[in-house]
Structure 1
Amino acid sequence: MSSGNVEHTPDGRYIVVKGRRWRAADPSIPEPLRAELVAALMTGRRMVRTHGDAARVMVHDAKVSLGERGDPWWEPTAEGRRQRIAATVRTLARARGEGAFVTDDVARVVGGEGWREHLGAVDEVVAQLRDEGVVHTETADTPVRIAAAEGLEFQPNLPD
């Protein structure tokens, strides 16, 4: 199979670039969120040139969010899914700066069509990140709205 100029393995789990296999992004991520995560990844890659190792955390989180690192997206463990949820929260918080996003966005990234069954885990991870000072949450309405907090490592989109 191929998509654009990228060759995929028959099972769709890997892309092949210059004869080397690389894990493909999770195809169940809705396109608008996938595009936002890819943009965050590319921003992180550019920032590695100017900010060095400090920006590598941004690249790593974006790759975990997309399913390109961490547990394979086609057979995640419970802990691997929690790590992907946390990486997705941090990636979206960095990408949106002071703009908020909702728990449903995170569940859609990690859960595909069955995203609703992951809302409990998303809520738990978001609460943990809130308690660690990584994000702020608003619970006046449902779903919970999330925004970056001072404890988020490497925040290029927040004013100084």
Structure 2
Amino acid sequence: MTSPPVTPDGRYIVVRGRLWRRSNPDLPPARRQTLIEQLMTARRAVRWARAAGDEAALAAARAEVQAAKVELGERGAVWWADGAPDLTGRQAKTTPYADWWATQGDG
């Protein structure tokens, strides 16, 4: 499996043509690892709650996923400080990354 393309500024990966915010690169490695483990545990809890039809557990698990993603910097306030907007979820070809994306073979 190949890794998704990363924008030149390192802020996003591109999956199926859409931008998705990367984790904050300034997180200490141990903290990042802890948060990733929490995220994976929460995602498994979402899967379990869905399978069980447990709406309360599903809501709690989704909240845990959200909390981990916010702490990782993938959601919530952006982790960069230059005032650039968050383009998460937008098509790369319709953003300031369009020229770069066109060179990636998928643009």
TM-score, normalised via structure 1 length? 0.43
Match of 1:47 in 2: 45
State yes or no: 1:71 paired with 2:69: no
Kindly report which structure 2 residues correspond to 1:35-114, keeping only aligned pairs within 5 A, or say none: 35-51=33-49, 52-75=58-81
Identity between Structure 1 and Structure 2 (%): 52
Equivalent AA in structure 1 for residue 76 of structure 2: G
Give RMSD over aligned pairs: 1.7
Kindly report which structure 2 residues correspond to 1:1-160, keeping only aligned pairs within 5 A, or say none: 5-51=3-49, 52-75=58-81
Tell me which protein shows more strand as a share of its residues: 1
Q: Per-residue deviation at 1:9?
A: 0.4
Report 1 or 2 for greater relative contact order, CA contacts < 8 Å, sequence distance ≥ 6: 2
SS at match of 1:47: helix
TM-score, normalised via structure 2 length? 0.62
SS at match of 1:6: coil
Equivalent AA in structure 1 for residue 41 of structure 2: T
Equivalent AA in structure 2 for residue 30 of structure 1: P
CA distance in 2, matches of 1:46, 1:7: 26
Unpaired runs of at least 5, structure 1: 77-160
CA distance in 2, matches of 1:6, 1:40: 23
Q: Per-residue deviation at 1:75?
A: 2.8
Match of 1:114 in 2: none
CA distance in 2, matches of 1:8, 1:31: 19
Tell me which protein shows more helix as a share of its residues: 1
The C-alpha deviation readout for 1:32-82, integer Å capped at 9, x for no partner, is 111110111111111012232221110000000000111101139xxxxxx
